[in-house]
Structures are given as C-alpha cells and as structure tokens.
Amino acid sequence: MAMFAPPVQELIDEFSKLPGIGRKTAQRLVFHLLKVDNRTARQLAEAIVTMRDRVRFCPQCFNFASESLCEYCRDARRDPAVVCVVEEAPDIVSVEKTGEFNGRYHVLGGAISPIDGVGPDDLHLKELLDRIPVDGIQEVIVATNASVEGEATAVYLENLIRPRGVRVTRPARGIPVGSDLEYVDGSTLAEALAGRREM
C-alpha cells in the first residue's frame, strides 16, 4: 500500500478533519510543517493547546473569553442597555471593526435552521431573555446574517422580545458602499429603495 510514514499520515488525517481542508491541502500543510524549522512547527501545536486550555465561552454572552467574562461583558464603559445579537462569536469582530457600536453582545451559537436540525432550543435564547431584566436591556439589535436562516431567526427573536417592551432593530439592508448599481441584485435594490432616506 502506498503510504506516508505513519506520523506523517496521522497528521494528514488530523488536518483533514478540519473544515474546508481536503486530503491534498492536508498533505501540503504537513509537508510545509516538515520543512519549516522546528520552532515554527511547535508554535502551532502550542497555540492549539493554549487556546483550548485558556479559552472558554463567556457565561453571559457566549463570546470567546480568556477570563471569567469576555472583554465586552467586563468593559464597564460599554452600555449594557443595548445588546447586539449575532449568530457566531467571530461576527462580533466584524461589528467591532465598524467602531460604531458601544453596547454589549449576545452570541446565539447559530441560527434557526430546521433543515440542519437547529431549533430555537439549540440557541442561547433563554440566556438572552434572562439578561433583559438583569441588564436593563432597552434595545436588541438583531445582527444575524442576511440569509434565510438569519432572517427566520430575526423574526423569531422579534416575536419573543418585543412583547417584553424592548426595542428590536435590525441593521439596514441596502446597496453596499462602493458598489455599482448595475451589479446590485434585485432584492437588495428593492430593499434599498424601500428603505430610502432624506438626503
């Protein structure tokens, strides 16, 4: 049987388990790690172990946290009354990069998707509802993805939260900055027109 040396094959197998990494890519990665100096290769292994040892999910918002609460939940300068709800923790970084948001976050851990077997009970919804009275939340910005699942989740959340007297908003849909009208798809343009604003 044509095979690599066992430790090489084992690492190829491990890399192949990662999302988006096929057998050929895994081979290339392993081959790279064989060629680089010892320290560089070990740094990757150590970073994996360190991350698993030190990173937990924030018990309040389910963002990544290397301390008991995540950096946003710990930050007293951030407004606890406005909460931005996202599907996954990396989405927080996208919102933060805008520099336009100074509230807190809540990570749902996904979106409602019956096809994937993800229902409302699989998301951190109860924990969000619990935060409303505790943190005195006045507005929930539902920044789930603009996909079918994200929209469904947004509607579900709205029905859940609005009756509690909390403002529920959703980031505007419209034409992306810098894009040509010619290449904007019909439904985006329709939403952009419907949501037009005074100049």
Q: Which is nearer to its own copies, 108 or 161 (CB)?
A: 108
Q: Which is nearer to its own copies, 11 or 132 (CB)?
A: 11
Closest by Cα among 107, 61, 105 to 82: 105
| Residues at the interface with its own copies (CB under 8 A) | 2-8, 10-11, 13-15, 17-21, 25, 27-34, 38, 40-55, 64-66, 70-71, 88-90, 92-93, 96-97, 99
Please state, as a whole number, how many other Cβ atoms lie within 10 Å of the Cβ of residue 28: 14
Nearer to its own copies, 150 or 161 (CB): 150
Q: Is residue 125 a contact partner of residue 112, using CB atoms and an 8 Å limit?
A: no
Q: How far is the CB of 68 from its own copies (least distance, A)?
A: 12
Closest approach, Cβ 173 to its own copies, in A, equals 23
CB of 174 to its own copies, least distance (A): 23
List 140's β-bridge partners, or say none. Answer: 83, 168
The SS3 of residue 132 is helix
Structure tokens at 15: 């890399």
Q: Name which of 53 and 198 has its Cβ closer to its own copies.
A: 53
74 vs 77: CA distance, rounded Å: 9
